[in-house]
Structure 1
């Protein structure tokens, strides 16, 4: 299945025949289907192999029937209405005494056609009869692509976190609310990603992962949807909370991005939910673990101090940026793992 260059992968005739006969192992079949999306030569080889089988003959018959139906649709039934009376008019006389029909023979009535009777309109094709798709029909598809987390219970949970932080700060007067929000914020997108992609999140995950738009592409689309919702909402909430010595409201963005990419990369090994537990739980343990149990101003101040060591300064932010880049590189290297269903 390889040519002279060891780095280039191509489908051999044997693999194409085994795929057409249904004897190719499932992982190899997934790899073959993914490869022929971008390789015209291998796609033609596989198509010829499938066409030589009994299934290829049936597919050719189905294709011919579909094309015949689309290109030559049955005309719409003509409604039975009363014939419209045709008003006869006198022939137009030419100045030299000849009628128009005598002067222009090319415009005379065709043989077999009754004069004075209107011609029935030609039947429209199905494309012309079909009404344009309403703009609102795109919303369900966008919500499906965004993922179960955005259209499910995760979105209300994010709103509850934001509203709860504001209520604790201004309603209960709890100090250090911004620090508490910054400690939880990086875990929110990780949780959303874990709830958006995987067999546990989507009943059609296996089918979606096998489509050209599935796999890592679908996971990244749903990750972007989760970040689009959580980043502005949590950052705005942090801006509205009193500082109380905590880092800036946007200090969690790079850690949140690094944890999200790290969770996607780790999911290629152990699955989405386990990866979310490792990355999210590791962050919470690193931030909240060194903070002793305290109440009132002491607890908030200690949490803010711990967050400042993890988030504040060029060194800390540079480390998070480097972690995000390394996670993206690992995710790119592990991209083929998303071509098959991930572990639960």
Structure 2
């Protein structure tokens, strides 16, 4: 089906012909569509093949009508797609392929912009302010209680109908679905894990676990949120995982006698985070969540619940 070299591949003529005729199996069609996003040569060949079909004439009429009705100042090229998922060459003409970094930055999208990033910085600054400004001895314990929920919130805010105006369209593309959700999850973790861990290292220990003890729980809760999102949606999944964690660690401190809340919180965090048994349990939870997420991957091929 394809001619390959060590670094790249190009669509064979029979593959292009079957794609233009609309008889190419859906997985192969998706693979070709993803390929032509970065290969101008194959995009031109596919477009030429489509123009030679009956659908090509209809596409040309639709495109001409759209361009005629568009404002004179419009500069972005138009792309039309037929029921056979045809691809136009114009968006790639005269343009070099997008770099991997540019694609990754676009895919990260809401995970690195909007209110979430300032919120993460706010958590770090607030913890430092409590420790060194207000002299609060339990600042690290409080940070460790909140830190695992931060990636969960980032995942919930960065994927789903509320994050993408065209979520239904994006989820149906080869680069959408679980792949896009994982890309944005990695962006969330890449920002929150080092920032909050470094903040924890700057805080006095005061009996709390190590600053990096929350990393496995944060990863496990993020993966669990993604897995549960395939059943109940991103926001509900985040509420279940993040809310469950906060209830587990904060409940003992909430019922502690006056003045003992900080100590009780540090003790509860030590039970949840310290030691090989606790960390091994979180590692197992992360693996199980990843397995469930893999099994539920087809659910990401359609729009999730809000």
* Residue from 243, 253, 262 that aligns with 1:281: 243
Residue 241 in structure 1 maps to residue 234 in structure 2:
no
For the Cα contact (< 8 Å) 1:254–1:317, is it kept in 2? Answer: yes
Alpha-carbon shift at residue 301 of structure 1 (Å) = 1.0
Given the alignment, which residue of 130, 133, 136 partners 1:171? 133
Check 1:147–1:131 CA distance in 2 against 1; reply closer, same or farther (3 A cut).
closer
Whole-angstrom CA distance in 1 between matches of 2:243 and 2:208: 21
Corresponding residue number in structure 1 for 2:172: 210
Task: Name the counterpart of 2:56.
Answer: 59
Distance between the aligned counterparts of 2:141 and 2:287, measured in 1?
Answer: 26
Report matched runs for 1:87-102 at 5 Å. Answer: none
Deviations 1:270-306 (A, max 9, x none): 0000000000000001111122345885221110000
Q: What SS is found at the alignment partner of 1:250? A: coil
RMSD: 3.3
Equivalent position of 2:6 in the other structure: none
Tell me the distance in 2 between the aligned counterparts of 1:171 and 1:296. 22
| Displacement of 1:201 | 1.1
Give aligned pairs, total.
Answer: 238
Which ranges of structure 2 fall in alignment gaps of 5 or more residues?
1-17, 33-51, 64-89
Q: Go from structure 1 to structure 2 and tell me whether the alpha carbon gap of 1:164 and 1:328 turns closer, same or farther (over 3 Å shift).
A: same
Q: Aligned runs of 1:1-344 on 2, under 5 Å?
A: 33-34=26-27, 36-37=29-30, 56-59=53-56, 130=94, 141-293=103-255, 298-344=260-306
- The 8 Å contact of residues 111 and 185 in structure 2, kept in 1 or not, is answered as no
CA distance in 2, matches of 1:326, 1:133: 38
The CA deviation at 1:208 is 1.2
Change over 3 Å in CA distance of 1:213–1:278 after alignment to 2: same
Instruction: Give, in whole Å, the separation in 2 of the partners of 1:134 and 1:33.
Output: 25
2:68 is aligned to none
The two structures have a TM-score, normalised by structure 2, of: 0.70
Cα deviation, 1:62-81, whole Å, max 9, x if unaligned, reads 68xx9xxxxxxxxxxxxxxx
Structure 2 CA distance for partners of 1:138 and 1:149, relative to 1, 3 Å: closer
Structure number with bigger Rg: 1
The two structures have a TM-score, normalised by structure 1, of 0.63
8 Å Cα contact 2:152/2:225 also seen in 1: yes
Q: Could you tell me how far apart the structure 2 residues matched to 1:334 and 1:35 are? A: 21
Q: Cα gap change, 1:158/1:58 in structure 2, threshold over 3 Å: closer, same or farther?
A: same
Distance 1:218 1:150 in 2: 14
Structure 1 distance, partners of 2:233, 2:28, is 24
Cα deviations by residue, 1:26-55 (Å, 9 ceiling, x for unpaired): xxxxxx74564369xxxxxxxxxxxxxxx9
Runs of 4+ in structure 1 deviating by more than 4 angstroms, as ranges, are 60-63, 129-135, 293-297
Q: Distance in 2 between matches of 1:331 and 1:180?
A: 30
